[in-house]
Chains A and B, each alone.
Chain A
Amino acid sequence: MTMSACPACDAAPYAQEIAGRKSADGDIILSLPGIHCAGCIGTVERSLKATKGVQDARVNLSRKRVTITAKGMQADPLIDVLAQAGYEAHALDAPMLSTVDADAKGRMLLIRLGVAGFAMMNVMLFSVAVWSGAALATQQMFHWLSALIAVPALFFSAQVFFQNAWVALRVGRLNMDVPISLAIILAAGLSVYETSIGGEAVYFDAALSLTFFLLIGRYLDHRTRIAARSAAQELSALASPNALRLNGDIHETVPLTELQVGDLIRVLVGMRVPVDGEITNGTSDTDRSFLTGESLPVRVQQGSVIAAGEVNLTGPFTLKVSQVGEDTTLARMARLVENAEGARNKYTALADRAAQIYAPAVHLLALITFLGWLFLSSDVGLALNIAISVLIITCPCALGLAVPAVMTTATGRLFRRGLLVKNGTALERLAEVDAVVFDKTGTLTEGHAKINTDAMDAVSLSVLAALARASHHPVSRAIAAALPASILPAELTDVTEHSGKGIAAKWKGQTIRLGRDDWVGATSSPAIRIGDTLAVPLTFSETLRDGAADAVKRLQERGIPVYIFSGDTEDAVAGLARKLGVMQARARMQPNDKLNEIKAMSDTGAKVLMIGDGLNDTAALAQAYASISPASALDASRAASDIVLLGRSLAEIPNAIATAKSARKRVIENFSIAAGYNFIAVPVAILGYASPLAAAIAMSASSITVLLNALRVR
């Protein structure tokens, strides 16, 4: 972690980039989970190219995304264009979507792989001739030709391993690349020496096939790693860098760092509140979904306490600063997330754990062989020769492929089902999960609530629709959005907005009102009243996300306990929990509560999978053993989670766990296969019977077995 004491300072350059969600060269990249055929490619590209301002659009079907060249355009209008064409699109963070094939490192690995493959095939050709009986001058010539191809090819292709090994050795540690580099260098060196004295033990083909297969593993491994951005930085980027300070009657824009506790600042409509404080003047509605997960705006007035990060929706107000800098709610949350992320980075991948045991063991074995033969035969040359052959045979060729091959198959399979795995170790952790925690709003339910239309007749519904659409107040807009689109709005006259109360209008001579309970005369807000009839309070109900019930049921059938942690009210949470058959549901949880509860569960040994979307889930997502967020989630939450659910349905989550378990099983099988080959080949090598032919066959056969086994992931 290279974060300084002030996360906002690090995040400042990111803020711009996050706002536009653009790639380095200014292209907009959108994820299209639903595309699958030539027709889709055509429709998406045509509808985008027909949009004003779009210069070019190119669909990538394998990665289910479209790259759009549109100077000065934002992603949102383009998402609308695609929605009208019938395709669901999400703007995801550009680094997360960056074309892995196009990046320089991946391309370089492929070039090295190509060169190694070319050299391997040619050298094998010569080796086959030698094995099948070429002798004397011909054998000698073939060996020299092999050397001519193999040495430069190895020098170029195996550099990746040499560099990594050198980095590890310099700080006095061993990694998998140390035995690999040693085996390649020793095999090539010994072979050149043998060739120069006209000997038989020439290992060029083994050294090249080793490099070739290991490069495959390295490339696959590279592809499963997606550049991850720190969720803490995403959170900090939400803080506005400036504030509007009131100095007497003068408004001055000052950087956040200059604000002091007790200062008065003005927060205009649409601004994100920069610091914590208390309202001294003005009324408004704020969006505090990041704290509570509640999607409806909250009414605020003089005396209300406001947290940094809330968005002012309807009216300007003056705020007396109570917390600045590191003490604001947002900064505290960013710190929580940062700590949680740091803890997760300590997870050691299976392959690394295997390497920690394997690398020293291999070196020790070669050393013992050398000393043993030296003691028995007193011939340094012979002892060295056999020790090197042990190193070549034990070289972790299959081991280097065991994990990346399986992970590539598994992540590819999950991607086709709409799950984007962001992290190489995510599947390993997902396989061990034994408890699942869901957030409610936006995760188990669709983000937007629907209005209960049962209590109203068609006429009042059409009046309501007309009223709600006439107003720009956030609550009205929420109501308008929550009504079925099929309702035709009634004809209204004299529409007047009453600030802080609601909206009134005339309809067929009757006065109608939509607004707060005390103003309309109802028992709860918001409510509608038509003429002198009884006021009807509007109740929102949330629609379950596709597959939510199915996912919960299947998780429970597998004996995995399911929890709901929500920031919403008891009633709303209990209703949903009953509907889904979840026993443990907790309501009114602050972001801290979610984090602490997950920490407490982890302390008792549970491995928790957290699934959430809001800013209030971010810390919990980072803290949990594994985490998933829907594509509709906020940037910070997506950054904090291991897997992003690109499709709408939650039903894939139990499948993802099953795939992760299957992948883990395959990884362990692959380790056993690799160990099995060694178990047979090592005694042969130690006894001095290993021929170059045996080494090449053992190496290729074990690598291919491991690759084939990886394809069995379900």
Chain B
Amino acid sequence: MNVLIILVPVSLILACLGLAGFLWTLRHRQYEDLDGDAWRILVEDDHIDKDD
């Protein structure tokens, strides 16, 4: 059962990372144009500004 002392914090930390990641994507407006972003990969000459 001692393994729990490591595994429980590990699972909690991993989940916290997931949550932090979700909040980060939200703050960077990554859910605003799901269809468009998928297509934009194919646009060659488009210098998409990275500053936002």
Contact = CB atoms under 8 A, between A and B. Distances in A.
Contacts of A114: 19, 22-23, 26
B12 interface: yes
Contacts of B8: 145
B20 to A, nearest CB: 10
Interface string B13-47: 00110110011001001011111100110110110
B34 A62 contact: yes
B15 A61 contact: no
B33 A61 contact: yes
Q: Chain B contact residues (Cβ within 8 angstroms of A): what range?
A: 20 to 34
Interface stretch (A115-123, A200-208, A429-437, A466-474): A115-123
B51 to A, nearest CB: 11
A121 B31 contact: no
A235 B23 CA distance: 42
Given A101-B31, A101-B32, A145-B8, A111 B26 contact: yes
A588 interface: no
Interface stretch (A34-42, A612-620, A703-711): A34-42
B33 to A, nearest CB: 4
A122 B15 contact: yes
B26 A110 contact: yes
Q: Is the contact region of chain B dominated by helix, strand, or loop, or is it mixed?
A: helix
B18 to A, nearest CB: 7
Contact of B46 (A45, A110, A145): A45
A559 B48 CA distance: 52
A108 to B, nearest CB: 10
Nearest to A63: B33
B1 A138 contact: yes
Contact of B40 (A38, A115, A141): A38
A99 interface: yes
A620 B23 CA distance: 46
A61 B32 contact: no
A48 interface: no
A125 interface: yes
Given A42-B45, A138-B4, A102 B29 contact: yes
B39 A38 contact: yes
A45 B40 CA distance: 12
Contacts of A59: 33, 36
Interface in A266-284: none
B40 A99 contact: no
Output the residue of B18, B22, B36, B40 with the most chain A CB within 10 A.
B36
Contacts of A45: 46
Given A101-B32, A111-B23, A145-B8, A118 B39 contact: no
A121 B15 contact: yes
Nearest to A114: B22
Contacts of A121: 15
A115 B19 contact: yes
Given A61-B39, A138-B1, A42 B46 contact: yes
A37 B38 CA distance: 10
A304 to B, nearest CB: 52
A60 interface: yes
A107 interface: yes
Contacts of B39: 37-38, 41, 61
A121 B46 CA distance: 40
B52 to A, nearest CB: 9
A110 B27 CA distance: 11
Given A101-B29, A118-B19, 5 more contacts: A41-B46, A61-B35, A102-B29, A107-B26, A114-B23
List the 4 closest pairs (A to B, CB-CB), nearest first: A61-B36, A38-B39, A118-B19, A38-B42
12 contacts: A38-B39, A38-B43, A41-B36, A42-B43, A59-B36, A62-B35, A63-B33, A101-B31, A111-B23, A111-B26, A118-B22, A125-B11
Interface of A: 37-38, 41-42, 45, 56, 59-63, 99, 101-102, 107, 110-111, 114-115, 118, 121-122, 125, 138, 141, 145
